[in-house]
Amino acid sequence: MTLRAQRLGTSGLGATRRWPILIPAWIAVAVLLVPLAALLVRVDWTRLPANVTSPLAIEAVRLSAITTSITLIIVILLGAPLAWVLARGRHRLMPWLRALVTVPLVLPPVVGGVALLAAWGRNGVVGGPLDALLGITIPFTTVAVIFAEVFVALPFYVISVEGSMRGLDPRYDAISATLGASPVRTFTRVVIPLVAPGMAAGAALAWARALGEFGATITFAGNFSGRTQTVPLAVFTALEQDPDAALALSVLMLTICVVVLGALRSRWIP
């Protein structure tokens, strides 16, 4: 069995015995790529330039670029320390904390939006006092879009980076400590440089998740061009009346994702 498992990875095995693995593998590839290819087939290429440069599209792309950039900065600033705590923490409740912070990963985004409203809404647990005492309301603002994006993207980053940090030999931080470095210095000078590829991979994942965020945003932040209408919301709104424009925006988003992830991959991710 072990022998067969090892030989499967090599090309020496006959095609007749590999097909039980190859056929489902190719079906999987088709399941993932056929819809994306269909986008490219159905899009009206002659109207594409006009569709992706319409005022609505430009506003949406601009807003998505700004919000996902700020989201990424927040995610890295908060996520890296949390990942380190989760990777090295020895408290018996640590596995529970890890499970809790990954809940947004599996939560339907709409539910995330409802939860964000319950917390930060005008009548929310935190948002209520915020509105009454300071006059600050978060829903229907660009800040709400960033809240929604951070909420869904942060767990992706934490889980990915925590994996790399866990794989780091604890002797590195022990040696750094014996040489007199403070925990902060150890973290910034030893840990972060060593897990940089993992952090880049996590950042790419988190950014892509933030870019695609729809359910929590439309529930919590609403939909208004230039303020809260990100690209996915613009696609959804356009779909009702102008499917061509929706297809064009979808192709644009697909291209941005492929280019950014491709660039990150060749540069940072092994």
Partner 1 sequence: MKRLVATSAVLVWVASGCGSAPDDTVTILAASSLADVMPQVIAVAERERPDEAFEVSYAASSQIVQQLNAGIDADAAVLAGQGPLASLDPSVAAGTPAVVATNTLAIALADGNPGRVTSLADLGNTDITLVLCAEQVPCGAAAAQMFHQTGINPTIASLEPDVRATLSKVVSGEADAGVVYVTDLVGQSVGHLDVRAEDQVVTTYPALSIDDSRSGADFVDLLSSDTAQKVLRDAGFGAP
User: Least CB distance from residue 83 to partner 1, whole Å?
Assistant: 33
User: Least CB distance from residue 219 to partner 1, whole Å?
Assistant: 8
Q: How many CB atoms lie within 10 A of CB 171?
A: 9
Site string for partner 1, 69-98 (x = CB under 8 A): ------------------------------
User: Least CB distance from residue 73 to partner 1, whole Å?
Assistant: 26
Contact 160, 133 (CB under 8 A): no
Count residues contacting partner 1 (CB under 8 A)?
21
Q: Which of residues 105-144 bind partner 1 (CB under 8 A)?
A: 117, 121-123, 137, 139-140
Concatenated DSSP letters for 11-80? TTS-HHHHHHHHHHHHHHHHHHHHHHHHHHHHS-TTTHHHHHTSHHHHHHHHHHHHHHHHHHHHHHHHHH
Q: Which of residues 220-259 bind partner 1 (CB under 8 A)?
A: 221-225, 228-229, 236-238, 240-241, 243
Q: Which of residues 164-223 bind partner 1 (CB under 8 A)?
A: 218, 221-223
- Two tokens at 197? 């590829």
User: Least CB distance from residue 19 to partner 1, whole Å?
Assistant: 11
Contact 206, 79 (CB under 8 A): yes
Instruction: Give whichever of 57 and 101 is closer to partner 1, judged by the CB atom.
Output: 57
Q: What angle do CA 6, 11, 14 make, to 5 degrees?
A: 95
Q: What angle do CA 104, 187, 156 make, to 5 degrees?
A: 15
User: Least CB distance from residue 182 to partner 1, whole Å?
Assistant: 45
Residues in touch with partner 1 (CB under 8 A): 117, 121-123, 137, 139-140, 218, 221-225, 228-229, 236-238, 240-241, 243
